[in-house]
């Protein structure tokens, strides 16, 4: 009975502690190209407010609720035609994930097929595992890199509703990233 009470109190106090904390966002760095019609600003996305995008020339983590607006270049949504966004490091992470997954799957398939017997060119299970692991790893790595290069494009044309779509997309991406870390 005492143990149940201790577990209950611990669980409820932990839940209360989490609910009173400010939202935690994962540090995500986005490369961004902002086309204003007068030129394209290639930079890193620092933040977004209800009426503007904030960029910086060096990599900075994106925040959906920006407070320090003096440090960054402010671009009002009315002057933005198009925005292109790419997550920094996405292709490298995709390549590594694909490489490891493909190499593991290829090695398992090679080992599971066993040694060849009574054939002109015979391979052992280890040789097949090595060859298939390298082959599958290379193919999956290239595929993962291409998936990681995915970019998102928004056509704003100075429209507030299009800008709100961009803002909502970014807020959802950062919230999803933060929920994966807990």
Confidence of residue 6 (pLDDT cuts 50, 70, 90): very low
Distances (CA, A) of 91 to 18, 29, 30, 100, 149: 34, 13, 13, 14, 5
Residue 32 within any structural domain of the chain? yes
Q: What pLDDT sits at residue 178?
A: 47
Confidence of residue 2 (pLDDT cuts 50, 70, 90): low
Which of 62, 2, 28, 4 shows the shortest CA–CA distance to 180? 28
Residue 2 within any structural domain of the chain? no
Q: What is the mean pLDDT of residues 141-156?
A: 88
Looking at per-residue pLDDT, the higher value among 117 and 1 belongs to 117
Domain co-membership, 132 together with 171:
no
Residue 10 within any structural domain of the chain? no
Domain co-membership, 30 together with 77:
yes
66 and 46 Cβ atoms separated by less than 8 Å:
yes
Residue 6 within any structural domain of the chain? no
Angle between helices 125-148 and 90-113 (to 10 degrees): 160
DSSP string, 110-166: HHHH----S-SS---HHHHHHHHHHHHHHHHHHHHHHHHT-EEEEE-TT-HHHHHHH
pTM above 0.75, yes or no: no
Residue 39 within any structural domain of the chain? yes
Answer yes or no: is pLDDT of 49 > 60: yes
Q: What pLDDT sits at residue 160?
A: 92
Which of 105, 91, 100, 84 shows the shortest CA–CA distance to 36? 84
Answer yes or no: is pLDDT of 12 > 90: no
- In degrees and rounded to multiples of 5, residue 118 shows phi and psi of 55, 60
Answer yes or no: is pLDDT of 35 > 90: yes
Domain count, the chain: 2
Confidence of residue 88 (pLDDT cuts 50, 70, 90): confident
Confidence of residue 136 (pLDDT cuts 50, 70, 90): very high
Q: What pLDDT sits at residue 181?
A: 46
Confidence of residue 5 (pLDDT cuts 50, 70, 90): very low
Distances (CA, A) of 66 to 29, 72, 158: 14, 10, 21
Q: Which domain covers residue 75, as residue numbers?
A: 23-81+156-181
For the chain, state the CA radius of gyration: 24
Q: What is the mean pLDDT of residues 42-65?
A: 89
Q: What pLDDT sits at residue 81?
A: 93
Residues 6+ apart with CB under 8 A from 72: 46, 47, 54, 55, 56, 66
Answer yes or no: is pLDDT of 69 > 90: no
Which two tokens mark 104? 């593991």
Domain co-membership, 77 together with 108:
no
């Amino acid at each position: 009975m005492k143990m149940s009470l201790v577990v209950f109190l611990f669980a409820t106090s932990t839940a209360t502690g989490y609910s009173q904390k400010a939202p935690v966002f994962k540090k995500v760095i986005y490369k961004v190209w902002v086309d204003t019609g007068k030129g394209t600003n290639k930079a890193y996305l620092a933040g977004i407010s209800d009426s503007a995008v904030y960029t910086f020339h060096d990599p900075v983590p994106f925040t959906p609720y920006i407070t320090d607006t003096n440090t960054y270049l402010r671009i009002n949504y009315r002057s933005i035609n198009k925005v292109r966004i790419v997550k920094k490091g996405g292709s490298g992470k995709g390549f590594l994930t694909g490489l490891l997954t493909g190499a593991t799957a290829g090695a398992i398939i090679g080992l599971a097929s066993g040694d060849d017997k009574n054939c002109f060119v015979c391979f052992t299970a280890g040789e097949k595992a090595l060859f298939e692991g390298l082959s599958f790893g290379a193919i999956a790595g290239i595929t993962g890199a291409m998936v990681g290069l995915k970019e998102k494009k928004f056509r704003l044309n100075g429209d507030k509703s299009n800008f709100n779509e961009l803002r909502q997309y970014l807020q959802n991406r950062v919230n999803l990233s933060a929920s994966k870390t807990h």
